[in-house]
């Protein structure tokens, strides 16, 4: 899922990587598949995204995806898409949905909180940028008005009164 139409990526940092790995391993085990030992950029690549509506700072959807690289192919396929809010998993290979394994419910809640913190932090950053832009505009307007005041220098008025 590419970030567009309000979707934002959350980086898989070292602080959440163990949780993401545990979730992935649990889902693979639940489906009786070979359990991956690690996350990487090709064979088992996670993607963590969320969507926030315009008038909110709370994610309306949080999704964790697991993509798999194809042997001898320069492509990756979506294997699992976990809908964190709904606590369901979509298996892209079998094209079916199933409930999350019980042992990862707490981990998904943790990811939901990570997405919430990310969304609120991003919103605060946007507000800071907007405030800085408004302050810059106000300062530019003040400088413009000061320049106009300087151009109406009283020296000119006294000189012009001597001329007439």
- What's the confidence (pLDDT) of residue 1? 44
Strand partners, 80: 66, 91
> Average pLDDT for residues 119-140, to the nearest whole number?
76
Contact 64, 44 (CB under 8 A): no
Cβ-based neighbours of 11, under 8 Å, separated by 6 or more? 48
Cα-based distances in Å from 131 to 10, 117, 123, 164: 25, 21, 12, 50
pTM: 0.73
Q: Give the range among 75-79, 117-121, 144-148, 155-159 with minimum mean pLDDT.
A: 155-159
> Average pLDDT for residues 104-129, to the nearest whole number?
86
Q: Does residue 154 surpass a pLDDT of 90?
A: no
Q: Going by DSSP bridges, is the β-strand pair 88-91/59-69 parallel, antiparallel, or unpaired?
A: unpaired
Whole-number Å distance between alpha carbons of 40 and 62: 21
Whole-number Å distance between alpha carbons of 109 and 87: 9
Phi first, then psi: give them for residue 113, nearest 5 degrees. -70, -35
Give the residue extent of every domain in the chain. 7-127
pLDDT band at 9 (very low <50, low <70, confident <90, very high): very high
Whole-number Å distance between alpha carbons of 117 and 144: 40
């Amino acid at each position: 899922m590419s970030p567009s139409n309000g979707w934002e990526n959350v980086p898989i940092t070292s602080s959440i990587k163990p949780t993401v790995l545990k979730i992935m391993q649990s889902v693979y085990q639940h489906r009786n598949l070979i359990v991956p030992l690690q996350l990487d950029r090709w064979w088992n690549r996670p993607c963590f995204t969320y969507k926030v509506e315009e008038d909110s700072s709370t994610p309306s959807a949080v999704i964790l995806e697991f993509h798999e690289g194809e042997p001898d192919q320069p492509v990756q396929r979506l294997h699992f898409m976990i809908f964190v809010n709904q606590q369901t998993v979509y298996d892209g290979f079998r094209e079916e949905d199933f409930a999350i394994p019980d042992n990862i419910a707490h981990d998904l809640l943790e990811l939901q909180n990570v997405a919430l913190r990310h969304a609120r932090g991003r919103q605060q950053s946007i507000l800071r940028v907007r405030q800085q832009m408004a302050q810059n505009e106000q300062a530019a307007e003040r400088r413009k008005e000061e320049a106009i005041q300087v151009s109406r220098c009283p020296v000119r008025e006294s000189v012009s009164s001597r001329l007439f």
